[in-house]
Structure 1
């Protein structure tokens, strides 16, 4: 049994989730904002949290804000962006010491709430827009973040695979937005979007730590009030299903080829066979004992790395491998053979048992940190599901060989993307 008791309360404009536990030395407060992915707003959304965490009305410079965090016994504040299925998620995270472990009894949790409210609702303004200097600084940094994907060829090839595979679907958009849209953002139009986001997004507040639910509720109701809303839901996209496998080769000045293969699993988080899919992925390519690692990297010595991962809310599985440019055909052939083996049920009971044990350990390791725990719990918000961690582990543990073969039968190869060197590309 994993003792995780999540208590959820409907607050004005958002859901409050309280997880009371003495497992962690710090208390964690996470604010999440979820909206459908769309090209018109994604670059503004990518910029907005960085502008908000950079300064506020009472802390008009990053230095002032960081200095205040130090006063709170080295509390941390950071923001994050992610894509889950057809949604773009903004996260603000504050991690703050539990005053029980300090000689100073000042109410740190309340100060954490006050800081979150300051960041979210009391921005550093100028006229009817954000502070122009902050906007310019954060726009430069956003351009660097977008550029960094192109400089990291492993990330770049994964982004390109998704662009090719999901062309015409919102999921093809990049989490940090588009470089060409950054310059069009002004202090005024970003402020207008900020107001719109706080009226339309689905918002969730998670508090995890050695806290009391009633105390958390009272801080939340006092400091964080928003208008009730019916959050915008993503439209179900028209899936870009291919008649035949879409193959793309792109030549750049790279020493090592990057072979990325995309499959449609046709299974999402919350579906009955999602847990069998997790076990499938573990046997196929998720771990160092998996078929891809053993057969593509170890036995055939074709790849520097070879692994697969799931996008649970979009129904995708991606295989990533680094190979010599000349080994493309052979690597694709062996990866296809591993998929065929899975479809035929050619895996042993030992592989099944080992994979389940590794997944179990991975989940237990994830919840060793409050951030990891919140990441797992948030899947339910995205998918409108209600799966607790014990059910997750039990369903995965009970997945049979037949169910895993059934999952394999649903998986369809969609797109092969290969980033190759200039010589091979000629």
Structure 2
């Protein structure tokens, strides 16, 4: 997609009441405030990206004016995927998707922090502490009662990761006012609640309450221990740890159990202030946005901040010693096999869609090679599939297998990879994969959460394409492109979670 283009010398922005794509309107000068004054409503900023500031009040209506700083205006019509973007003066990017397809307005705010040992546990813990209450609603029960009074508005917080970036997020989902009783107002109070959760956490003497820290630390420890109950997720996590032994990319976003001992409430609050003040922040909103909603969203997140860039870092190279094989034993009935592979295609590369086609043909769908040969023909596995992790340049093949058949499953996977690299792909496999990926791209718009997740992942990985653009790119992929990608993929690690009780052995031959 084309990059955002500054308006340049014309100093133009969207006109009152909105603007059609590609059309520009003049902005009045307002040297008194050191910027350029925009007299239209905030919703008319939505078609393009602009810098938003608050500097005084608009005469006559009691509201705050909008000022667009010189050199920071963008032509209307330029978007990031499906979202229209407004850049706040504090560096926060607000991504807006006004639509009446949903009956709720979903708002999610992301903060970034470098994924590092030790601090990643603190980030996971403070996100929980902030999300459970604030000064006005100091307990989880008080917050829940308040949200219930807002017609069942839901709020929450959590952590994730993208490569070497740890993500803390806070979200709010509120019913659209068009479906509430006449005169009911929920958007303003709900957004104010989200703002208070983030900016006014419950603290005493610049520290989180000790009893609250202890309670949330115990909950976080429970979740960390519970990772092993999801065998597939645990296998992928352990495989990533082995592939990134010399880097932090294999760290879990939830942190480590040993880091939870003796957490300092004062240090935790300093960590949160650092995250809020300096972490790059992106806010996404999807749903009905009647008049005034845009300004409420912008003012909610227009608090003083000084964000600093987060360095993504480099992925540790593949060791020269060859394929690493790791066996870990656990008291389970079925083994979980995870193959970790590397491909030399960075995020945003032109071969990105050929990579998706390659992965889909290999193991992404029920018609794929691995599913047909391992489950349907050989009967060695109930489930087997593959997926790519764009942020690290990794591909994973995961299968639940009988302990007696894991060697045969590995052989079949390697044989199917070899055939794909030699171009042995049927027309049915190629076109079925293309159709499945097209359907997946279009289905993103069925859910606000999926729209937000896909757009933010694309933003972090350096490539944001609308569903229509994705479909067009997928139709351009030829078999030669898929073969070229397949030939660049190398096996790095074979991880086997096997029945038993002997712990971990590495390197080992899982045969």
Give the TM-score of the pair, scaled to structure 2: 0.79
Q: Retained in 1: the 8 A contact 2:163–2:312?
A: no
Q: CA-to-partner distance for each residue in 1:52-106, whole Å, 9 max, x for gaps?
A: 1111100011011011111111111122322212211112111100001111433
The DSSP-based 3-state class of the residue aligned with 1:360 is: helix
Q: Give 1:244's aligned residue.
A: 322
The DSSP-based 3-state class of the residue aligned with 1:333 is: helix
Q: Give 1:321's aligned residue.
A: 399
Q: Retained in 2: the 8 A contact 1:129–1:191?
A: yes
Q: Give 2:487's aligned residue.
A: 409
Residues 292-301 or 98-107, more deviating: 98-107
Please list, as runs of the form range in 1=range in 2, the aligned pairs for 1:258-273 lying within 5 A after superposition. 258-273=336-351
Residues 377-386 or 408-417, more deviating: 377-386
CA distance in 1, matches of 2:487, 2:300: 52
CA distance in 1, matches of 2:293, 2:192: 14
Q: CA-to-partner distance for each residue in 1:245-280, whole Å, 9 max, x for gaps?
A: 111112222211111100002224311111111111
The match for 2:104 among 18, 26, 30 is 26
Q: Give 2:416's aligned residue.
A: 338
CA distance in 2, matches of 1:61, 1:151: 30
Question: Would you say 1:10 and 2:87 are equivalent positions?
Answer: yes
Q: Give 2:305's aligned residue.
A: 227
Q: Give 2:235's aligned residue.
A: 157
Cα–Cα, structure 1 residues 253 and 238, in superposed 2: closer, same or farther, change >3 Å?
closer
The match for 1:132 among 204, 210, 220 is 210
Q: Give 1:93's aligned residue.
A: 171
CA distance in 2, matches of 1:152, 1:422: 17
Q: Retained in 1: the 8 A contact 2:81–2:464?
A: no
Coordinate RMSD, CA, aligned = 2.1
The runs of 5 or more residues in structure 1 that have no matched partner are none
CA distance in 2, matches of 1:359, 1:44: 38
The match for 1:60 among 125, 138, 143 is 138
Q: Retained in 2: the 8 A contact 1:167–1:240?
A: no
Q: Retained in 1: the 8 A contact 2:118–2:255?
A: no
Q: CA-to-partner distance for each residue in 1:391-410, whole Å, 9 max, x for gaps?
A: 22211222110101111011
Question: Would you say 1:123 and 2:201 are equivalent positions?
Answer: yes
Q: Give 1:359's aligned residue.
A: 437
CA distance in 1, matches of 2:124, 2:378: 42
Deviation at 1:198, TM superposition (A): 1.4
Q: CA-to-partner distance for each residue in 1:122-145, whole Å, 9 max, x for gaps?
A: 101111201222211110000001
Question: Would you say 1:166 and 2:244 are equivalent positions?
Answer: yes
Q: Give 1:422's aligned residue.
A: 500
Deviation at 1:218, TM superposition (A): 4.6
CA distance in 2, matches of 1:213, 1:361: 33
The DSSP-based 3-state class of the residue aligned with 2:339 is: strand
Q: Retained in 1: the 8 A contact 2:195–2:300?
A: no
Deviation at 1:243, TM superposition (A): 3.2
The match for 1:194 among 265, 272, 281 is 272
The match for 2:469 among 391, 395, 400 is 391
Q: Retained in 2: the 8 A contact 1:13–1:228?
A: yes
Q: Give 2:460's aligned residue.
A: 382
Residues 149-158 or 67-76, more deviating: 149-158
Larger Rg: 2
The DSSP-based 3-state class of the residue aligned with 1:144 is: helix
Q: Retained in 1: the 8 A contact 2:318–2:492?
A: no
Cα–Cα, structure 1 residues 300 and 80, in superposed 2: closer, same or farther, change >3 Å?
same
Deviation at 1:25, TM superposition (A): 0.9
Q: Retained in 2: the 8 A contact 1:130–1:188?
A: yes
Deviation at 1:284, TM superposition (A): 0.5
Q: Retained in 2: the 8 A contact 1:260–1:321?
A: yes
Moved over 6 A (4+): 423-426
Q: CA-to-partner distance for each residue in 1:166-212, whole Å, 9 max, x for gaps?
A: 11122111110010001132211110100111122110011111115
The DSSP-based 3-state class of the residue aligned with 2:405 is: helix
The DSSP-based 3-state class of the residue aligned with 2:283 is: strand
CA distance in 2, matches of 1:76, 1:90: 17
The DSSP-based 3-state class of the residue aligned with 2:181 is: coil
Q: Retained in 2: the 8 A contact 1:277–1:404?
A: yes
The match for 1:286 among 364, 368, 378 is 364
The runs of 5 or more residues in structure 2 that have no matched partner are 1-79, 503-509
Q: Retained in 2: the 8 A contact 1:117–1:224?
A: no
